[in-house]
């Protein structure tokens, strides 16, 4: 950890300075990074956390935006985790702005040439230097291939990988420090969130992976002329550059105000919902951010999706669990709900099962036997996440991403046709998944898998037992003890010691100064009468005093 701090000292100082600026100086002090601030900033630091009247969610959002692309992406991930963070903070983080000043076209052309091995003019018949969109990780430009196809080129910003790697290393360090200092951080497994984020941002920067996900959905809808997914041009794509078919049609805002000719809002809404459910519950790869900017609409009630940079992945087990969750809630089956959430998530050791089931019953009573048309899936998902959050149950990212996407989708179709209900359209998918689960072939596969895992675990038991007994015999067994208040106690003792040192220094300074004044006044030292002994001594003592004082302040424990 120390090596990382030395290697990235400049970035550490930037992060610590911004934390203090937005009123989080007390965290900097508590985790032991206060010494990274310059002395004037240490003195001016506000540890109260109330340096302005802004809501805490807004302060966090502004802070993340100032810290740059890695932290903006972290905030966007956290905005999905309403099962972990308060709603007001999650809502504020959804407003994070990921738009930046475009890079000079000459730099972009140079990057494209480096990736494709040829000048832009040799590869493309046309290249629009005016970018379509500029974000913190990449920017997009329209171009035309030599064969005449209109395409969009998505290119990573130069050196962004170095920036992200440095910030991730620092985030790992900060997570370890925060978990060591705060009990709540350990309970919410901050390190696991950093690990999840690290995987997510690296996946987002891997354009081969984005291309494969886009192509998987493209292939599924290839025979459906009503759903348009951009084609991937692999000959013009690399790990850092992705070339896709250029899709442009009517925008959502135009559809809401006055539907263009040839577009029926109800048909579009139904197709939008079904195409998303097909992605999530059939393909198992779904668009993670289906907001209006990523959707286009065409005559004949056709729908186009763009930008699959953020996708969710659901395997067969996850699809089944999500369907079981909704059906369990609709049927009022508490045992099914509890079992499904148990399979979906990570349960804390201290979970009060009786209270959790009681809260699930309250949730069940709220929706039980209500007609589908009266139930909003967004509200159902929020209520489920609120209940799991209350009991510190951590829901995996892909479920929360699916929940957030469904909430976004519900908001879109409500403005187009408020008579359409997502749950009503989703019911057949859920029933099909459950029936597929009971298929004899699927039951046989799960049984064989379970038997295989049991046998594998059984084979390992003797070796694990031998290893454990050997450690016991050799006295190598360690006992872990958790003393959550120990760090706080040591910190307070350190501050007391520093204040005592400061007081002793003041006393010593006063005694030495008084002695020298008396000696200068009443003593007889003709040899030193011409030397300003008192002045020199005072300067030395003051200098030493300031050195000690500086050391105490830099420790951050005064």
High-pLDDT (> 90) share of the chain, %: 23
Separation CA 171–CA 93 (nearest Å): 18
> 189 CB contacts (<8 Å, ≥6 apart)?
394
DSSP alpha helices (H): ranges in 45-104? Answer: 56-67, 69-79, 87-93
Whether 303 contacts 279, CB under 8 Å:
no
The Cβ of residue 220 has, within 10 Å, a number of other Cβ atoms equal to 18
Q: What angle do CA 34, 39, 45 make, to 5 degrees?
A: 60
Distances (CA, A) of 126 to 29, 180, 322: 55, 55, 46
Tokens 């494209």, located at residue: 112
Per DSSP, the residues of 97-118 read ----PPPPHHHHHHHHHHHHSS
Structure confidence by residue, pLDDT tens digits, 347-393: 887 888 889 888 888 888 887 777 767 777 777 888 888 888 888 88
Which two three-digit tokens encode residue 291?
């907001």
The Cβ of residue 96 has, within 10 Å, a number of other Cβ atoms equal to 20
Whether 75 contacts 64, CB under 8 Å:
yes
**Residue 409 φ/ψ, nearest 5 degrees:** -65, -40
User: Which residues does the chain have with pLDDT short of 70?
Assistant: 1-5, 38-53, 82-83, 98-99, 330, 372, 434, 437-439, 441-458, 464, 471, 473-499, 501-503, 505-510, 512-538, 541, 543-545, 547-558
Whether 296 contacts 237, CB under 8 Å:
no
The predicted structure's pLDDT at residue 385: 82
Outline where DSSP puts E strands in 191-321. Answer: 227-228, 241-245, 285-287, 295-298, 302-305, 311-313
Separation CA 418–CA 423 (nearest Å): 13
Alpha-carbon torsion 484, 486, 491, 492, what sign? positive
The predicted structure's pLDDT at residue 108: 93
Which two three-digit tokens encode residue 309?
């940079």
Separation CA 93–CA 384 (nearest Å): 20
Separation CA 245–CA 256 (nearest Å): 26
The predicted structure's pLDDT at residue 527: 46
Separation CA 187–CA 172 (nearest Å): 16
Which two three-digit tokens encode residue 124?
């493309």
Angle of helix 422-437 relative to helix 316-331, nearest 10 degrees, comes to 120
């Amino acid at each position: 950890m120390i090596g990382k701090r030395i290697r990235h000292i400049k970035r550490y100082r930037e992060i610590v300075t911004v934390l203090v600026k937005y009123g989080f100086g007390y965290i900097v002090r508590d985790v032991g990074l206060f010494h990274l601030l310059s002395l004037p900033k240490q003195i001016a630091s506000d540890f109260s956390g109330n340096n302005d009247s802004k809501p805490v969610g807004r302060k966090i959002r502004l802070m993340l935006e100032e810290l740059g692309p890695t932290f903006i992406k972290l905030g966007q991930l956290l905005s999905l985790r309403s099962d972990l963070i308060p709603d007001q903070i999650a809502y504020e983080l959804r407003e994070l702005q990921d738009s930046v000043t475009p890079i000079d076209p000459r730099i972009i052309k140079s990057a494209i040439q480096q990736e494709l091995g040829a000048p832009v003019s040799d590869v493309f018949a046309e290249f629009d230097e005016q970018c379509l969109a500029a974000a913190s990780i990449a920017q997009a430009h329209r171009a035309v291939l030599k064969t005449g196809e209109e395409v969009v080129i998505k290119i990573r910003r130069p050196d962004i990988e170095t920036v992200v790697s440095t910030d991730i290393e620092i985030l790992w360090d900060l997570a370890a420090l925060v978990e060591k200092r705060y009990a709540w951080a350990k309970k919410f497994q901050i390190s696991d969130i950093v690990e999840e984020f690290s995987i997510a941002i690296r996946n987002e920067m891997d354009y081969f992976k984005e291309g494969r996900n886009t192509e998987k959905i493209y292939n599924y809808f290839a025979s459906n002329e009503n759903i348009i997914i951009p084609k991937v041009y692999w000959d013009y794509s690399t790990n850092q550059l992705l070339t896709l078919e250029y899709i442009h049609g009517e925008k959502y805002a135009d559809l809401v105000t006055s539907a263009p000719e040839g577009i029926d809002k109800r048909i579009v809404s139904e197709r939008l919902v079904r195409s998303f459910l097909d992605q999530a519950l059939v393909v198992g790869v779904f668009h993670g951010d289906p907001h209006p900017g990523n959707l286009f609409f065409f005559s004949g009630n056709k729908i186009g999706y763009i930008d699959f940079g953020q996708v969710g992945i659901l395997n067969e087990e996850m699809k089944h669990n999500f369907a079981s969750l909704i059906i369990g809630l609709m049927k009022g089956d508490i045992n099914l709900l509890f079992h499904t959430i148990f399979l979906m998530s990570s349960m804390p050791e201290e979970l009060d099962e009786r209270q959790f089931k009681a809260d699930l019953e309250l949730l069940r009573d709220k929706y039980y036997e209500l007609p589908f048309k009266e139930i909003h899936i967004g509200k159902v998902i929020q209520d489920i996440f609120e209940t799991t959050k209350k009991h510190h149950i951590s829901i995996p990212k892909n479920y929360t991403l699916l929940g957030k996407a469904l909430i976004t989708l519900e908001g879109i179709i409500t403005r187009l046709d408020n008579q359409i209900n997502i749950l009503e359209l989703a019911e057949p998918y859920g029933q099909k998944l459950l029936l597929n689960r009971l298929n004899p072939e699927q039951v046989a596969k799960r049984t064989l898998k379970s038997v295989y895992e049991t046998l594998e675990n059984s084979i390992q038991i003797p070796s694990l037992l031998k290893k454990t007994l050997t450690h016991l015999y050799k006295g190598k067994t360690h006992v872990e003890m958790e003393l959550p208040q120990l760090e706080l106690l040591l910190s307070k003792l350190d501050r007391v010691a520093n204040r005592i040192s400061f007081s002793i220094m003041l006393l010593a300074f006063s005694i030495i100064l008084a002695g020298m004044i008396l000696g200068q006044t009443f003593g007889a030292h003709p040899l030193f009468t011409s030397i300003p002994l008192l002045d020199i001594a005072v300067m030395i003592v003051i200098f030493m005093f300031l050195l000690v004082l500086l050391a105490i302040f830099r420790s951050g424990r005064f």
